[in-house]
Amino acid sequence: MSSPLPPWRWRVLDSAAALDPAPPALAEERAQEWCNFVLWRPAALPEGCRTSTGTLRREAPPGRVPAEGRSPWSDANPSGYRTEISGGGRRLRLKQFLYDWAFPAADHPCLWGSATRPHEIGEGRVVWLGTDYLGHRAASARMARTTVELSVLEGEFADDELVALFAALRPAVPQALPRVLATPFAELSYWARRPAETVSVPTGVFSFHRRGRAHEGDWVPTGELTAFLAAQGAPASVGDYRADSAATFGDGAAVRELDVVYASASGGELRLTAQRTGGGRLEFPPKRDQHPAVEEVLDLDGRPLHLGYADAEFGACDAWWQHPDGYELRLLGSAGAGLGRDAFLALVAQADAALRLGGRAGTLG
């Protein structure tokens, strides 16, 4: 038998004061060692364009410093990579990072609120085209957990040019990809590892803006995950998705919500949230959020199941229902060729059956 892959480990700065005044120019191959995500490099560019060397924002502990490129929304200093591609009077920007302070809304959060169109780009992945929060023509995809966002800054690019650019993305350091995927989300996530401020953002088709600004969430150590899930009555797997990480969220006095992250071998993700009825922030029945989507109310073994999705073939899906023992449940899915409406409903049914077999949800029951 082959030995398990070692987890991915990356370089970080010792303090926020050590942040570069401006993100330095660094080729993708060299920047990968500073990233807690798989860094992608375009193997082909739109006609007439050339790529400049990208710039790296290094990870540092939380702290507000006058450094260009850091987030204005919190004191967090996660890693990120930015590349500009230009030529012939046209210019676009790629941003790459691990979206890890909440579940990425509809799996393409930078396009939130705009009508979006999915396109397959190979290996089960999809890219979404739409309009970003600045009003720019934009695109977004999650690739082996990395969020890759594109924004058109100058000129016009046809849909097929943007889709082809995403389809031509390749890992800058191929050996990093399997190691990142072998590393639990809780060990990769900046917000799971550091006491940084969070930002209230949408998380799916139905309204649930996770969470307040104060840091919260207690992540279960990797070595204790199996026992923790068993104590909660939560399944160790759902379909081909295996439990990867888990966290409890509360108000300092009592647990209000339990989150379990399930990941596939290729980096697809499910996120299960459970809470005592009325004890947390899931409001049942759910209310639609602002992103264009389809909403259905279905029957799940005699109970109403609220399902929302951006696209029937590709997802991203959002399901809410109640356990017979008296707590609310939510399952979110990343987008993909195998995660459309019907495939996702099968996963919901599997999760529900496993939870009913497992009994009351431990601390949440």
Residue 50 lies in a domain: yes
pLDDT of amino acid 213: 57
Residue 41 lies in a domain: yes
Helices (H) and strands (E) in the chain, counts: 7, 19
Give the span between the Cα atoms of 201 and 212, in whole angstroms: 9
Inter-CA distances, 252 with 205, 238, 272, Å: 28, 30, 22
Q: Are residues 350 and 206 in the same domain?
A: yes
Q: Are residues 36 and 140 in the same domain?
A: yes
Q: Are residues 211 and 171 in the same domain?
A: no
Q: Are residues 211 and 166 in the same domain?
A: no
Q: Are residues 34 and 158 in the same domain?
A: yes
Residues of the chain with pLDDT under 70: 1-3, 210-215, 251-255, 277-279, 359-365
Residue 193 lies in a domain: no
Closest CA to 58 of 28, 23, 95: 23
Give the span between the Cα atoms of 93 and 148, in whole angstroms: 10
- pTM of structure: 0.94
Tokens 């993700």 correspond to 269
- The one-character DSSP state at 302 is T
Q: Which of 150, 180, 210 is the last residue of a domain?
A: 180
Residue 314 lies in a domain: yes
Q: Are residues 218 and 345 in the same domain?
A: yes
Give the span between the Cα atoms of 223 and 244, in whole angstroms: 11
Q: Are residues 163 and 212 in the same domain?
A: no
pLDDT of amino acid 278: 66
Q: Are residues 291 and 336 in the same domain?
A: yes
Give the span between the Cα atoms of 254 and 246, in whole angstroms: 17
Average pLDDT, the chain: 92
Q: Are residues 58 and 164 in the same domain?
A: yes
Tokens (6 digits) for 272: 């299960």
Residue 44 lies in a domain: yes
Domain that holds residue 214: 200-364
CATH of the domain at 117: 3.30.200.100
Q: Are residues 175 and 206 in the same domain?
A: no
Residue 74 lies in a domain: yes
Q: Are residues 156 and 296 in the same domain?
A: no
Question: What does the pLDDT look like over 251-308, one tens digit per residue?
Answer: 655 667 899 999 999 999 999 999 876 667 788 999 999 999 999 999 999 999 999 9
Q: Which of 152, 180, 208 is the last residue of a domain?
A: 180
Work out how many domains the chain is built from and give that number.
Answer: 2
Q: Are residues 86 and 158 in the same domain?
A: yes
Residue 211 lies in a domain: yes
Residue 341 lies in a domain: yes
Q: Which of 151, 180, 209 is the last residue of a domain?
A: 180
